[in-house]
Amino acid sequence: MEFVNGEGIEEIRNIDLTLIRRYLAAMKDKEYSRSTILRKTSSLRSFFKFLTRRGILEQNPFLILHRMKKEKKLPQFLYVYEFEELIAAPDSSPKGLRDKAILEVLYGAGIRVSELVGLNLDDLDLSRGYLRVFGKGAKERIVPLGSKGCLAVQIYLQEAREFFFRKNKAADEKALFLNKQGRRLSARSIRRLIDDYVRKAALQRRVSPHTLRHSYATHLLEGGADLRAVQELLGHVDISTTQIYTHLSRDRVRQVYKKTHPRA
């Protein structure tokens, strides 16, 4: 409405396709991302739909606006050597042992940060190397965790969790990963601790919990994993979501070319 008023329009009935296009152009001039522009236009389309249903407007000008396609960005991921530098950053203190286990689970099982913070002790089957996680829509799935991940979690449980648990009488007895008050760690805390270790490891890039999930999927596919299997491991309902991970490093592409092309 600020934009509309700035254009000298006082009545909402006078908003037309030409004005909407000028609004989109103004957002592009401000260098808004495509996803931001899509979100704003989608909200306005719904709002104008509401106005037409109530009889306030005769037609929805957003319905004749050409729908923009959402841009698909290649996911950022760490190379194996970068993760090795990151996982070497935590020390041997209780906090360091907990954080090392967190990093190993995020990368070793490829789970979302929301799934990680929701883990309970009875979701673990370390003897067989499995975790039970609850994904989007509370959908349950079983994911494997490698030997290094299982070892890191086992060391945390044996040598560090009690340190956090005894700090508070109201500690969460079920939660796997605890904060210094003995309560369940939050997603924000996970992001913050990763930022700290990225700085400590001197990695020249931004790394989030989802970066480790991206790395997990990328390294599985580069190692020859089947796309359907990766879809199942990630908990994706639609395989098109998994297909964004089919990008390969230039070195991998070159290796495949040399190995398979008759004129390489």
Measured CA to CA in angstroms, residue 165 lies from 21, 175, 176, 186 at distances of 57, 10, 10, 16
Residue 76 and residue 205 in contact, taking contact as beta carbons nearer than 8 Å: yes
Active-site residue flag, 66:
no
Active-site residue flag, 205:
no
Residue 51 and residue 15 in contact, taking contact as beta carbons nearer than 8 Å: no
Residue 100 and residue 90 in contact, taking contact as beta carbons nearer than 8 Å: yes
- Can you tell me the distance from the alpha carbon of 219 to that of 129, in angstroms, rounded to the nearest whole number? 19
Dihedral angle computed from the Cα positions of residues 103, 109, 113 and 119, in that order, rounded to the nearest 10 degrees: -100
Residue 119 buriedness (CB in 10 A; 0-12 / 13-18 / 19+): buried
Q: Indicate which residue of 40, 95, 132, 210 is catalytic.
A: 210
Active-site residue flag, 136:
yes
Q: Indicate which residue of 213, 214, 216, 219 is catalytic.
A: 213
Active-site residue flag, 213:
yes
Q: Indicate which residue of 98, 100, 161, 236 is catalytic.
A: 236
Q: Indicate which residue of 98, 112, 214, 219 is catalytic.
A: 112
Q: Indicate which residue of 136, 139, 192, 199 is catalytic.
A: 136
Tracing tokens 């050597």 back to the chain, one arrives at 81
- Can you tell me the distance from the alpha carbon of 154 to that of 136, in angstroms, rounded to the nearest whole number? 27
Catalytic residues: 112, 136, 210, 213, 236, 245
